[in-house]
Structure 1
């Protein structure tokens, strides 16, 4: 089992990518509270560790070239965020069918009965991320995010 903060990182990344993909190519404000949930700063105005971890995950996505933004809105949000070309292409790409099966996707027989355009949409990384988020299963979310961005794609 992964450390809790790593599972939260994968979930934060997944939610942020789904939000940005859904708005693409528009620039949107990406609010930490929409991803990690409400946060009440302490008596000194400092955010919780959870809030700051989510904010850090968003900044990390930019540092790794997966999104761009104009500015930060304090430690509350990224202003005018948009997916990078690299992230958009990767999220739109078909995932290996073995990954879809491992994540509990549709059985091959059911998928074969669908029109090819629908089959293509259901085979993308973004679809697998959305499905994993809907499941609420942290292991599936972690697995699909790892496969989407961290697996060796040179094969």
Structure 2
């Protein structure tokens, strides 16, 4: 089992990428609270470790070339964020068949024949990330995000 902070990173990255993909090509504000949940700063105005970890994940995605943004809104959001070309292409592209079968599991009956265009859509990285998020299964989320972010491009 992975460390909890790594599992949270995968979930935060998945939610952010899905939000940006759904809005593409519009720029949107990415609020940490929408991704990691509500946060009440302490008496000194400092956010929780969980909030800061999510904010850090968003910054990391930007530093690694998956998204761009105009500015930060304090430590609460990224202003006018958008996927990079590389991230959009990666999310739209088909994932390896082995990963598709593993993450899809028993979702669809064996022997189901779908039109090629639908099969391609259902095997894209973004579909796998969305499906993993819906499952709420941290291992599936981690595998889908890991394959999307770290598989050789």
Alignment of structure 1 residues 113-132 onto 2, 5 Å: 113-132=113-132
Q: Say yes or no: does 1:149 pair with 2:149.
A: yes
Would you say how many aligned residue pairs link Structure 1 and Structure 2?
A: 151
Unaligned regions of 5+ residues in structure 1, if any? none
- Could you tell me how far 1:108 is from its partner in structure 2? 5.6
Alignment partner, residue 109 of structure 1 = 111
Aligned to 1:78: 78
Which whole-Å CA distance do the structure 1 matches of 2:92 and 2:108 have between them? 18
How far did 1:118 drift? 1.2
Where does structure 1 differ by over 4 angstroms across 4 or more consecutive aligned residues? none
Deviation, structure 1 residue 107: 5.1
Q: Tell me the CA shift for residue 152 of structure 1.
A: 3.2
Q: Equivalent residue for 1:30?
A: 30
Q: Partner of 1:46: helix, strand, or coil?
A: coil
Matches within 5 A, 1:11-26: 11-26=11-26
Equivalence map 1:1-20=2 (5 Å): 1-20=1-20
Q: What TM-score do the two structures reach when normalised by structure 1?
A: 0.94
**TM-score normalised by structure 2 residue count:** 0.95
Give me the whole-angstrom Cα distance separating, in 2, the residues matched to 1:141 and 1:77: 23
Contact persistence 1:36–1:54 (CA under 8 A): yes
SS of alignment partner, residue 111 of structure 2: helix
Structure 2, unaligned runs of 5 or more: none
CA-based RMSD: 1.1
SS in 2 for 1:79: strand
